[in-house]
Chains A and B, each alone.
Chain A
Amino acid sequence: MAIDQVSVFIENREGRLAEVSRLLTAKGVNIRALSLADTADFGVLRLIVNDPASCAEALKGAGFVARTTEVIALGIEDQPGGLDAVLGFFAEHNVNVEYMYAFVEKTEGKAIVVFKTRDTAATEALAREKNIPILTGDMLAKL
């Protein structure tokens, strides 16, 4: 149930991010969610898109270093404490969250948050145990 996130290495220089977005536009890629982690020298742009495999190929074809990584998207109660409950539960079970970011859109009244953890399968099992909705790639594509 894990979904594929596309990550791409981007140097911190003017216009570089715009080149990525122009390329994705040209390829008809629809960005559902994104996060940018950066340092003084470079950034890693992480994207949830409708077709991760062809998006990664397009980026590589244009000379970028890109890859797909398994992450898990969870539906979280859209109210104060909703995220805290999930993170608290993860912490109790020693799930180490490497990073996370949220979708702008909601699904069935729930906020969608993308988690990257060390062990995606184990995290999925835990989410199922706790009845936290796990979103599939198809569900996200239809948003």
Chain B
Amino acid sequence: MSENEYLAREKMRALQQERLLNLVPRLYEKVAFYRKRMQEHRISPADIHSLNDITRLPFTTKDDMREVYPYGLLAVPLAEIEEIHTSSGTTGKVVVAAYTRNDLNIWGEVMGRTLAMGGVTEKDVVQNAYGYGLFTGGMGAHYGGQHIHATVIPISGGNTRRQLTFLQDFGSTALTCTPSYAIYLAEAAREAGLDPKSFSLKYGFFGAEPWSEGMRQEIERGLGIKAYDIYGLTEIIGPGVASECTEQNGMHVNEDHFYPEIINPDTGEALPDGEKGELVITTLSKTGTPLLRYRTRDITYLTRGTCPCGRTTVRMHRLFGRTDDMLIIRGVNVFPSQIEEVLLSFKMVEPHYQLIVDRKDSLDRLEVQVEMNEALFSDEVRNLEGIERRIESALASALLLHARVRLVEPKAIPRSEGKAVRIVDKRVL
């Protein structure tokens, strides 16, 4: 628990302003990318006098981050960086987040708040089933648990049998993983003849993929716990940007560190509280790779006012979707353009493809349908299967995700006049 979660609005704004006025000159001085960007917008740090002036600053996009890969956004010498994470993406096109000691402390603090908001204390045992590695879920939840002195079990993702054994034997009280994996765990427990309600589990902190109230109810029923929605993204810090309190009515944004704005994604203009638009975040206190007005592409709205839990921080609604065509599959970000790039690296493949996403046994599945053509065709089935396997393995190394490739007849994929319908998302959330 931090007093910053309970500040009066004017005190929060004063803190945010102080941090912004420190950030902007720092970025101008230390990061060539931002200096150039501000010059292009004919704005200098001297023009930023108050928090309200933030709307005069340029946005940062994911493409910007890719362009300056790998170290172009570092605001400190590399020697001061203690950890690096990247967001999933095509090889060589990942987005880099570099953390200083200061940033890791912030991460522990905000993820500590996330867990504490749901009720976790030093007496709890946190079974952290987010994947450890470049993905920020694992380390983020780990640092958060340690920050509030809970017992953290770094079991990482997968190995369901062991997850169930640990839930039974170690008396885990908190579970951190993707929501779809939580549902899968509940099913696996029942199949193994275990009653999840006999576990000591009390609450779970779920994020990294889209989910819904329906899934929340399924998880809460299936595991007999409170299921909390948490939000974050690698570019900003990883998980810990915002999370639900026990009211489960919107996610409290850790706005002392991450300043949120909602904009019209088409015009870039600011939208008032309560109106749906694209979430834009400025990292007020990070020192490794701080970002100005980062366009998350996530759609939500903000609500201000004191929450019944006592916190005064602004709340963001559960995500409504995205402004781009990014798919989140088993926690991995997938853009159709990445898949297209892989497909077209096969000379004989034509750009007629469709992505079918569905959910079986609570796990997302991606099928890539590719149209057959004369150049690809062979009268030998094993050659055709070989093509499917080769594309699958190229996709696996580019996306870090298994996608099933299926050859279909020509013209099987609907043609459209305008933008091709590339994605059929059959997931019922």
Contact = CB atoms under 8 A, between A and B. Distances in A.
A67 B374 contact: yes
Nearest to A98: B380
A115 B373 CA distance: 25
Interface stretch (A35-43, A74-82, A86-94, A103-111): A35-43
B380 A99 contact: yes
Report the contact-size class of chain A (Cβ under 8 Å from the partner).
20 to 34
Contact of A7 (B377, B409, B410, B412): B377
Interface string B400-429: 000000111111100000000000000000
Interface residues of B, number: 18
B380 A44 contact: yes
B79 interface: no
B372 A9 contact: yes
A65 interface: yes
B84 to A, nearest CB: 41
B381 interface: yes
Contacts of B408: 11, 41-42
Contacts of A16: 409
A9 B380 contact: no
Q: Which of B376, B378, B409, B410 counts the most A-chain CB atoms under 10 A from its CB?
A: B409
A42 B407 contact: yes
Given A65-B374, A67-B374, A116 B410 contact: no
Contacts of B412: 11
Contact of A42 (B373, B379, B380, B384): B384
Contacts of B381: 37-39, 43-44
A12 to B, nearest CB: 10
Contact of B379 (A60, A64, A69): A69
Interface string B367-388: 0000011101111110011000
Nearest to B388: A41
Nearest to A6: B379
Given A65-B374, A69-B379, A10 B384 contact: no
Chain A interface main SS type:
strand
B377 to A, nearest CB: 5
Given A39-B385, A41-B406, A65 B377 contact: yes
B372 A65 contact: yes
Interface in A1-28: 5, 7, 9-11, 16
B409 A5 contact: no
B373 to A, nearest CB: 6
A63 interface: yes
B380 A65 contact: no
B349 to A, nearest CB: 13
Q: Which of B374, B379, B380, B407 counts the most A-chain CB atoms under 10 A from its CB?
A: B379
A105 to B, nearest CB: 22
A43 B378 CA distance: 11
B383 to A, nearest CB: 9
A99 B385 CA distance: 16
A43 B407 CA distance: 10
A44 B384 contact: yes
A56 to B, nearest CB: 10
A85 to B, nearest CB: 25
A60 B377 CA distance: 13
A44 B411 contact: no
B386 to A, nearest CB: 12
Contacts of A42: 372, 384, 407-408
A65 B374 CA distance: 6
A64 B409 contact: yes
Nearest to A16: B409
Given A11-B412, A116-B380, 9 more contacts: A5-B379, A7-B379, A16-B409, A41-B408, A42-B372, A42-B384, A63-B409, A64-B410, A65-B409
Q: What are the 6 A-B residue pairs with the smallest beta carbon separation, nearest first? A: A7-B379, A37-B381, A69-B379, A65-B377, A65-B372, A11-B409
23 contacts: A5-B379, A9-B407, A11-B408, A11-B409, A38-B381, A39-B381, A41-B408, A42-B384, A42-B408, A44-B379, A44-B380, A44-B381, A60-B374, A63-B409, A64-B409, A65-B373, A65-B374, A65-B376, A65-B377, A67-B374, A67-B377, A67-B379, A116-B380
